[in-house]
Each structure stands twice: as structure tokens, then as C-alpha cells.
Structure 1
């Protein structure tokens, strides 16, 4: 994901883990004002209906009953007719390997109530901070590892096959360090991170590494504010050991950025070393986790919010990364 926000957020999402220690180990509290928001969520388990369908007419009926899903997810407009899409879906859902995949999803996600509850609470929190937020329709589906997550203003589709347990026989074709982050506890944080982009204002002319760092920092800060009871490891994506070591070496990490004058770097190849998806940040050390620029950005944004006492809506609306950095008073910690 980049600073720009598109209509869709197709996530082979590159989440990252957080810190189960240090300044982010805060008491979990959800206020009654949030919990009393008038939000009701019903997750539509479409994979059940689609695998129960037996004919072209059955699929045509499902497409007519779920027009947003058919248009945005299945891209019905690319087909010459509704029946042509229905015929293709019939063939896909009669495939034996897809049937086995569906059976695995049925076992792993037979009870989706906890995820649904967490997502409803998240929507209540977003509605509390951003009253204009409208709850989208939410569907689950078995995509055949074609799409993990789609989030638009009106629609969310969760490809449950991507979120089978990491040790499961069926796995998406992703590097292991990424695939490990596709698990049930990551579903709601991924969705909240995607939604955050619509509120995350940026300066389009600022192409510095600092701007990218602050963008991601705001993303993670937003997600933690909306999901205060979710462990940070499901928001930013390192192992607990990597989290601890990052805090222990924060001063060294920050020194690397300062001594190499990286904050105002605009070369995209250099920026990618610290922001892009990778198993480690090679420019610092093969033992340093990847995406350390994002991790530092979260620390900077947290300090800015704490020191300036900025409410979440105004924080997300602030496009000036330099201002956020300057007024954060950020200083590296010497340990957790």
C-alpha cells in the first residue's frame, strides 16, 4: 500500500506486527460511548451459498441477490451476460480441489462469531471517531487463492481460504514470512488498516521517506486506537522476539537513519529498503526485521499524538509529515 488510496484495497496485505512491550503495552479500554454506537453487523457467508448451488440458474439467482458482490468482486461487467458468469462459477465450484478447499474452510471457520463481534466493535469505534463512516456490507468467500481481502467504501469481501491456519496443507503462494501473517487474528486488523486509508491525508508532493514513515505510522496508530484490545503483533507483523529486539536497538536503528540522512531521501529504490515488504532490513542488518521505516513511523506518530494531545480525526487529517515529526519530540528509547 502506498500513500495514495485507491477505491479498492487488494491485500496480499503486508501487515506488520507490533510490540508486545515498551510504550505500546497499554491497558485495554473500550468506552461505553463507543460500545453504544448504533451499529449492527451481519456477515454474509456467501461461500456456503455458492458451494450449495447446483445449476447455472442457481448461480444467476445468487448474482442477482448480491449485486454489489457480483459487480465489485466478481467483476460481472466484464462478462457478456449474467448467465455466462454463472456458467463459469458453476464449473469452478464443481472442481474437486475447490470442494476440498471449501471443506477445509468450513472446518476452520465453522464459528465466525468472534471475528464478527470484533469487526462490529471496530465499526462502532470508527463510527464514534468518524461519524460520517457508513458500515459496508461484509461477505466471506472462498476465492481459490485469487483474492485475500477487498475493502471499498461499500463492500468488504474476505477470502477465507487465505486465512486458514499457517500449518494447514493449503497455503497461498506467498513467501513464508508473509504467509505466517495470514491467520484468523489478522483479519480484523487488516480490514481496519484498509479503512484507515480513506481518512489518512497526505501531501501528494512530499515523496520523502519520512512521508512514507509517517503515513504508515498513522495507519498503525489508527488501527490500535480502533482495536485497543488487539495485540500489537497483529497490527504490525514481527515475531515477539523481533519486537523486543527492535526496542532494544531503537537507538541504533535511529542512528542509521540520521547518519545516512535518510529521512528526506526521495529515491524510490532507497525508500523501498526501509518501507517495502522484505524478510529483513538488509541495509541495517540481516537480523533486523523488514519495514523498519514503518516501525519507526509508528513510534513518531504515537509520540506526536501523546505530546500534542491530538484527537484521532485531526491526527489522520494532518497531511504534513514534517510537522508531525517536528512536533513529536521523538527520541529513540534505549530499551523496552
Structure 2
């Protein structure tokens, strides 16, 4: 009997992989049309007399409330020039990122036929890492100084859990997150479960639109951090359930298990060994279980209430 069960499992996995491969081959045929506009380089090379032309081409990059003298001063500012120089060196070749953005856009067009490619503008933004990317329906802004590499000198005073994701490989991951946020609906985010499912939706969205990225890259973990979460999934879930956290509205719970942090806060001796955001990780597994056990589309799931997703997920972490 065990041999039959194993055979059925292997067979199901085989056909699932074949179906995934066929889908990716279909998506790869979708045409996209976009350019990467290097505003960072244009500004670095501009002279004061070029400002008028820059403002004409990139009007959204210049506030009407800021006098031209400020922008002209920035052209000769030592710090600004160093930021621009470092961005230019790191991203002299943008082909890898452009290819990943192309693949993201192909998947977005597959799952949303109304999606149209925006203008993509690169810039520097004084290492404002809390605003990793800005996405609208028509324009995407990518501040390159947020992706210079975790060991870059500009990040010397930042904590490790922040710098580990200031990598070029995270550009398309952050874009996918921004597009997920535009499409997710939940009427409320009051309980800890609401928060977990919200971020679980984000991460599952990444599963579908950037499947070429690893799970560690999608959630922003190191390989070791993801291994910890995978190995201890049952323990994490047991802590959440036994301490009656799921339907709790205590505002400290998202800070302990959802927000960016060096580790998760169970108030146990092993806390320092844990990665942060384990609530997001569990939410991801709940949404994955829901999608596996229910015939719903990606867009339908994004609009489904958290409690309905949980109740129909049949989520049971393996021990």
C-alpha cells in the first residue's frame, strides 16, 4: 500500500512539473514593450544649461515647489555625485535586471490582460531604503542606490537584516511586491491572522509572477533562514495556535512576527536563532495550501477575505 501511495505521489508531481513547464513556455511567448530610462546617468552628465531639457523629458522628477537653483546645486554636490557614480558603476550593465523585469511583465500580462507596460526610470534617492521602488499604472521608479550590494560602504550603519536585501537581485522581487499590493483586497486587517494572510497573498503572488526566483529571494531570507523556517514550520504554527494568537488583535503581534526585524520574538531562548517575519512565512504556507486545495484563480484569491482563505486552506504543517 505504501508503494502505491508513493507511486501516486511521484506521478502527480511529475504531471504538475510538466504542466508548470508548459505554462511557462506559453508565458514566454508574450510580447512586451518597454525601455529602461537611465535618469540617473542623464542627471550625472547634465550641465546647468541642460536642466530645462531634463525637466521637459522627466517632468515628474522635478517638483514645481523647488527652485531650479536647488537642482543646479545638486549637479555639483559631492555626495550626489558619489551616489550617481556608484550607481553607474554597479549598474553599468542592466541587461540581467531588464530580462527579469521582462519576465515579470510577461507574467503580469498573462494573469491580468489589462496590464500595460509602464515607463521605467532609474534614479538615486539618497539611499531611502524604506521606499525601495515606486510603482504607478504608468511609471516605475527604481532608486539604484537601494541595490548596491549588502557590503557597500553606504550601508555601513544599517542593520544586517536590512542590508541583506539591498542587492541587485531584489529589484524584480520588490517590483513584484509593489504590484501585489496594488491588487490585494482585504476589507480589514484587524487580527494577527489577517496580517499573516495579507503577506501570504503577497508572497504567493510572487510565486506566480516571478517563479524564476528562489523562495529565499521571494521572502528576502538567506538560504539558512529559509531552511530554519521550513524545518521549524510545525513548531512555529504550534506556538501561534497554543498562545491563541490567530484571532488576537494585539498590535504587538505584527511587530513581533510580521515587520522587518533581526529575529522573531517568541520570548524564548531560541529567539536570536530565528529569522524575522515568520508570520509572513506562515501566511505564505496557508495561502499555498488554500490554492492547492481550491479551484480558484490568482485574482480571485487576492480578493478573498483572510478568514475564508484560512477556513478552506486545510493547512496542516508537516512535523
Which residue does 1:254 correspond to in 2? 237
Q: 1:48 aligns with which of 41, 50, 56?
A: 41
Q: 2:75 aligns with which of 85, 93, 98?
A: 93
Which residue does 1:321 correspond to in 2? 306
Which residue does 2:121 correspond to in 1? 139
Moved over 3 A (4+): 26-30
Paired residues for 1:147-226 under 5 Å = 148-171=132-155, 174-204=158-188, 206-226=189-209
Question: Could you tell me how far apart the structure 2 residues matched to 1:261 and 1:77 are?
Answer: 52
Name the structure where helix makes up a greater proportion of residues: 2
- Partner secondary structure for residue 87 of structure 1: helix
Q: Cα deviations across residues 72-123 of structure 1 (Å, max 9, x unaligned)? A: xx4x1433xxxx2x32122112112322222222211100011011101111
Q: Cα deviations across residues 223-252 of structure 1 (Å, max 9, x unaligned)? A: 121011111111102221121122211111
Kindly indicate whether residue 103 of structure 2 is the aligned counterpart of residue 110 of structure 1.
no
Question: Could you tell me how far apart the structure 1 residues matched to 2:280 and 2:124 are?
Answer: 31
Question: Could you tell me how far apart the structure 1 residues matched to 2:93 and 2:213 are?
Answer: 19
Which has the bigger relative contact order, CA under 8 A and spacing at least 6?
A: 1
Query: Which sections of structure 2, spanning at least 5 residues, go unmatched?
Result: 1-12
Normalized against structure 2, the TM-score is what? 0.88
- Partner secondary structure for residue 286 of structure 1: helix
- Structure 1 residue 326: Cα displacement: 1.0
Q: 1:242 aligns with which of 225, 228, 234?
A: 225
Question: Could you tell me how far apart the structure 1 residues matched to 2:181 and 2:212 are?
Answer: 21
8 Å CA contact 1:164, 1:183 repeated in 2: yes
Kindly indicate whether residue 47 of structure 2 is the aligned counterpart of residue 61 of structure 1.
no
Normalized against structure 1, the TM-score is what? 0.83
Question: Could you tell me how far apart the structure 1 residues matched to 2:124 and 2:225 are?
Answer: 33
- Structure 1 residue 32: Cα displacement: 3.5
- Partner secondary structure for residue 183 of structure 2: coil
Kindly indicate whether residue 310 of structure 2 is the aligned counterpart of residue 306 of structure 1.
no
Query: Which sections of structure 1, spanning at least 5 residues, go unmatched?
Result: 1-22
Which residue does 1:78 correspond to in 2? 65
- Partner secondary structure for residue 127 of structure 1: helix
- Partner secondary structure for residue 206 of structure 2: helix
Question: Could you tell me how far apart the structure 1 residues matched to 2:27 and 2:56 are?
Answer: 35
- Partner secondary structure for residue 31 of structure 1: helix
Kindly indicate whether residue 263 of structure 2 is the aligned counterpart of residue 277 of structure 1.
no
8 Å CA contact 1:115, 1:188 repeated in 2: yes
8 Å CA contact 1:51, 1:93 repeated in 2: yes
8 Å CA contact 2:263, 2:275 repeated in 1: yes
Q: Cα deviations across residues 43-82 of structure 1 (Å, max 9, x unaligned)? A: 1011111111111x41121111122x32xxx4x1433xxx
- Structure 1 residue 172: Cα displacement: 7.3
Which residue does 1:294 correspond to in 2? 280
Question: Could you tell me how far apart the structure 2 residues matched to 1:161 and 1:293 are?
Answer: 29
8 Å CA contact 2:151, 2:163 repeated in 1: no
Rg comparison, structure with higher value: 2
